[in-house]
Amino acid sequence: MQNANGATFSFPGQTDFYRGKVRDVYFFDDRLVVVASDRISAFDHILPKPIPYKGQVLNQLAAHFLKTSADIVPNWLTAVPDPNVSAGHKCDPIKIEMVIRGYLAGHAWREYKAGKRLLCGVKMPDGMNESDAFPVPIITPATKADEGHDEDISREDIIERGIVTEEVYRTLEGYTRALFKLGTEMAAERGLILVDTKYEFGMKDGEIFLIDEIHTPDSSRYYYHEGYAERQLAGEKQKQLSKEFVREWLMANGFQGLDGQIMPHMPQDFVELVSQRYIELYEHLAGKKFEPAPQEDVNSRIEAAVVDYLKKQS
């Protein structure tokens, strides 16, 4: 078996290439092709072992959610040539992530626990416990860094720095809340709670497009609805389907991506557990059984699918 761990291809008509933490992006004149690898990242570091089927799960879930949200905001996706590949419009990225949080968890909880009550210029109420719902979901943007850590930023700083105009930012806020509402409703239908997520946007021909992935376990955090209230009352950790448990495993093994820290060894049983978690989330959210793509020669399969797609576009 071969993991989709990120071979570098050279496609006809390709004008540029970018390797992200988990995705490889191939640029063409007016479109791009994104290959979702089985790499996994946490604390802005790529972990040493790939996660079987992770790329397929992310790619197919992202396509599912992009298609269901297309009536809210236009998005970049036009084709899915392979289970690990998406293709579509090339947009100029807006250099911020629109992070929206319905519950106090993850980064927000770590800041809150440290005594902070202001996150990205947004006031968080006193007296909250981990995993409590905010009275209204809060938007806590982050600058989109080309390298290194993304940084929290306020609405006011985004506009003051000229990253986008106030009018564009208001539009992004509106899209973010509408997408989060849709994601929340779709999660609820599957017995899940959409805790927090992020959206990325770009511009094409003067129009705002939704880009990247949405509502996947790499960009979102989900809790199980069943037992949520009981666990909150008991002060217990919530049962969740997200990448947070990978971060927690790393922290328990002395790694948070800080200088001087050494990435811990990932035992094979943990790798398999992460893979199972991704597949479980796919089946919960998509409402159908996961069908693993052939793994005998993943790179050849992906290359053939992309070349065939490009031929059809020419």
pLDDT digits (tens, 9 = 90+) for 125-136: 999 999 999 999
pLDDT of 130 reads 98
pLDDT grade, residue 3 (50/70/90)?
A: low
Binning pLDDT at 50, 70 and 90, where does residue 37 land?
Answer: very high
Residue 307 shares a structural domain with residue 238? no
Predicted confidence (pLDDT) at residue 16 exceeds the cutoff of 50? yes
pLDDT of residue 1: 45
Model confidence over 38-80: pLDDT tens digits? 999 988 899 999 999 999 999 999 999 999 999 999 999 999 9
| 170 in the same domain as 143 | yes
**CATH at 259:** 3.30.200.20
Residue 281 is predicted with a pLDDT of 79
> Quick one: tokens of 212?
């990247």
Residue 287 lies in a domain: yes
Q: 115: domain range? A: 92-242
In the predicted model, is pLDDT for residue 213 greater than 50? yes
Q: Among 242, 266, 290, which residue terminates a domain? A: 242
Task: Place 145 in a pLDDT band, splitting at 50, 70 and 90.
Answer: low
- Residue 118 shares a structural domain with residue 178: yes
Last residue of a domain, one of 242, 266, 295: 242
Residues 307 and 194 in one domain: no
Percentage of the chain lying above the pLDDT 90 cut:
82
Residues 153 and 216 in one domain: yes
What's residue 243's pLDDT? 77
Residue ending a domain, choose from 220, 242, 264: 242
Instruction: Report residue 284's pLDDT band, with 50, 70 and 90 as the boundaries.
Output: confident
Whether residues 133 and 75 share a domain: the answer is no
Residue 2 lies in a domain: no
